[in-house]
């Protein structure tokens, strides 16, 4: 009799351990990072490929875990409760003999309740809490240990798992719920939140977090937002000699310069000349002079310019980067829907949207937006609203379609302004400081003392002065 009771108690321990195995397997396999598993595979760790297979086959792995946990719990309730109740009764047999006959029934009830409480306690403690904590604490070691047995269990129970998956799919369709796998992919906004949370945990530097955010946003940035406007493009006529062009290029310190057709004016750009090509030709000219040759090469920019890359202003910046990579070019001319040149964009412009401003030794003035004297900021009219939003966190309305500060002021005023005209928007006052013909060249910006700089109003007031 005692041997039979002992055997049943051992079965109770076995099913608690089985339950803990499946719980630990679930948390370990799901929690381990796939990149870490790839490292194990490269190092030849035993069981690493099985772990990766289980992670990729999660639709079979999770039902197998639930099946194992359920079977262990059912077996524990079927065998464990009567076995422990019998142990309790056997331990209190002397007390039972001293009780009256009608009290024995209550003794059996109390034994069953105590057995149920003990089974529940050990099941929760040893079958759930302890293995879960160990799996989260020693994820890698446990994942490698349980992968092999779990793979065998899945192979044995595959017909049952397939039946459960098919049944679950039909039930989900009845409730119009998303099928398994749907919603498992993170949205761009969720990826940004994950990057921020990782940075707050100290696992990701701030700079890398910003790159992730910018990379996600880059597909929503158009070429028009990052290009150099047509009015600020430095270009040379195609009939200019390379000697004259060399002097101009050295003076302006550009590595690539647009070339325009003199008959069509600066708007009709027909090619790109590289400063290194000009330098090479000038070197050949110097060698020819040293050997007694003539001083003029007779070459013009039209003869040495390279083919032009043209992109629409609505092209996403991410696609622009891909095109630059595929064509091995670093500069493109931007045109509008009518084919008119509206600006110039470089690979640096697109890369800066990922990593921030890049300045070399030839950049005379910093592109960063910093307040100047007396809290007044002097900005170029071509400063993009995107730069103001990303660097200074100003909120501008985009309904007008304006991309630059000058365009925003024109949309607010509704006419070509004169120097001194003012637009008040939100918590800031924008004053036209300089005009270049009919173009707003410079704008002074100051914060209004009576308004909070962080909360702009939806519509700004206007004030004009001569």
Name the nearest CA neighbour of 110 among 123, 122, 99, 126. Answer: 99
CATH of domain 221-355: 3.10.580.10
Residues 6+ apart with CB under 8 A from 190: none
In the block, tokens 């190092």 appear at: 43
Cβ(37)–Cβ(55) under 8 Å? yes
Residue 364's SS3 state is: coil
Burial class (CB in 10 A: 0-12, 13-18, 19+), 210: middle
* Cα radius of gyration (the chain): 37
Q: Which two tokens stand for residue 336?
A: 């509008």
pLDDT confidence tier of residue 31, bands split at 50, 70 and 90: confident
Cβ(460)–Cβ(426) under 8 Å? yes
Cβ(204)–Cβ(194) under 8 Å? no
DSSP 245-276: HHHHHHHHT-SEEEEE-TTT-TT-EEEEEEHH
Higher pLDDT, 454 or 419: 419
DSSP 34-45: HHHHHHHHHHT-
What whole-number distance in Å separates Cα of residue 328 and Cα of residue 333? 15
Cβ(106)–Cβ(31) under 8 Å? no
What whole-number distance in Å separates Cα of residue 296 and Cα of residue 243? 8
Class of domain 373-463: alpha beta
Cβ(313)–Cβ(336) under 8 Å? yes
What whole-number distance in Å separates Cα of residue 256 and Cα of residue 245? 12
Q: Is the pTM of this model over 0.75?
A: no
Mean residue pLDDT of the chain comes to 81
* Residue 266: predicted pLDDT: 86
* Residue 419: predicted pLDDT: 92
What whole-number distance in Å separates Cα of residue 110 and Cα of residue 127? 24
In the block, tokens 């590289």 appear at: 274
Is pLDDT above 50 for 456? no
pLDDT digits (tens, 9 = 90+) for 213-271: 888 888 888 898 888 888 888 999 999 998 888 989 888 888 899 999 999 888 889 99
What whole-number distance in Å separates Cα of residue 453 and Cα of residue 427? 5
Where are the CATH 3.30.465.10 domain residues in the chain?
A: 373-463
Where are the CATH 3.10.580.10 domain residues in the chain?
A: 221-355
Q: Picking from 27-36, 139-148, 179-188, 333-342, which range would have the lowest pLDDT averaged per residue? A: 179-188
Cβ(330)–Cβ(276) under 8 Å? no
Q: Which two tokens stand for residue 35?
A: 């990149």
Name the nearest CA neighbour of 273 among 320, 298, 239. Answer: 239
What whole-number distance in Å separates Cα of residue 52 and Cα of residue 41? 9
pLDDT confidence tier of residue 102, bands split at 50, 70 and 90: low
Name the nearest CA neighbour of 333 among 351, 320, 318. Answer: 320
**Separation of first and last alpha carbons in the chain:** 110
Q: Which two tokens stand for residue 210?
A: 């910003």
Rounded to 10 deg, the angle between the 130-137 and 139-156 helix axes is 120
Cβ(340)–Cβ(267) under 8 Å? yes
Sign of CA dihedral 364, 369, 375, 381: positive
pLDDT digits (tens, 9 = 90+) for 348-383: 888 888 887 776 655 544 444 555 556 788 888 888
What Å distances lie between residue 422 and 129, 384, 433, CA to CA? 67, 19, 10
Chain-centroid distance of CA 131 in Å reads 34
DSSP H helices, 128-226, are 130-137, 139-156, 158-174, 188-200, 206-217, 223-226
* Residue 463: predicted pLDDT: 44
Other beta carbons less than 10 A from residue 187's beta carbon: 10
* Residue 85: predicted pLDDT: 67
């Amino acid at each position: 009799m005692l041997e039979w009771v002992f055997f049943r108690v051992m079965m109770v321990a076995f099913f608690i351990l089985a339950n803990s195995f499946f719980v630990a397997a679930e948390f370990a396999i799901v929690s381990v990072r796939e990149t870490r598993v790839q490292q194990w595979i490269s190092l030849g760790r035993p069981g690493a490929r099985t772990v990766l297979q289980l992670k990729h086959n999660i639709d079979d792995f999770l039902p197998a875990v639930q099946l194992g946990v359920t079977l262990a719990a059912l077996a524990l309730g079927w065998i464990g409760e009567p076995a422990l109740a019998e142990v309790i009764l056997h331990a209190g047999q002397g007390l039972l003999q001293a009780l009256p006959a009608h009290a024995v029934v209550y003794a059996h009830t109390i034994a069953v309740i105590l057995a149920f409480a003990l089974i529940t306690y050990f099941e929760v403690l040893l079958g759930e809490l302890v293995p879960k904590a160990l799996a989260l604490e020693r994820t890698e070691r446990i994942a490698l240990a349980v992968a092999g047995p779990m793979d065998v269990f899945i192979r044995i129970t595959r017909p049952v798992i397939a039946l459960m998956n098919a049944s679950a799919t039909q039930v989900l369709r009845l409730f119009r719920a998303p099928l398994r796998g749907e919603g498992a992919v993170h949205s761009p906004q969720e990826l940004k939140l994950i990057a921020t949370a990782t940075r707050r945990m100290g696992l990701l530097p701030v700079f890398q977090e910003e790159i992730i955010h910018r990379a996600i946003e880059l597909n929503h940035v158009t070429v028009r937002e990052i290009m150099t406007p047509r009015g600020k493009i430095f270009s040379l006529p195609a009939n200019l000699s390379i000697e004259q062009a060399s002097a101009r290029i050295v003076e302006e310190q550009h590595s690539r310069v647009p070339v325009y057709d003199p008959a069509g004016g600066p708007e009709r750009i027909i090619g790109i000349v590289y400063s290194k090509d000009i330098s090479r030709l000038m070197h050949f000219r110097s060698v020819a002079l040293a050997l007694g040759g003539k001083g003029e090469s007779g070459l013009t920019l039209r003869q040495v310019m390279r083919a032009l890359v043209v992109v629409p202003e609505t092209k996403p910046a991410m696609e622009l980067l891909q095109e630059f990579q595929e064509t091995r070019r670093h500069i493109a001319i931007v045109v509008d829907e009518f084919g008119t040149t509206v600006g110039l964009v470089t690979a640096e412009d697109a890369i800066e949207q990922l990593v921030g401003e890049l300045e070399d030794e030839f950049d005379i003035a910093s592109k960063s937006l910093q307040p100047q004297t007396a809290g007044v900021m002097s900005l170029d009219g071509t400063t993009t609203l995107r730069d103001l939003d990303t660097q200074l966190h100003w909120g501008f309305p985009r309904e007008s379609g304006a991309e630059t500060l000058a365009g925003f002021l024109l949309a607010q005023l509704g006419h070509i302004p004169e120097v001194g005209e003012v637009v008040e928007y939100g918590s800031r006052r924008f004053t036209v400081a300089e005009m270049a013909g009919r173009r707003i060249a410079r704008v002074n910006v100051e914060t209004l003392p009576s308004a909070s700089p962080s909360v702009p109003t939806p519509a700004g007031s206007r004030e004009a002065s001569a």
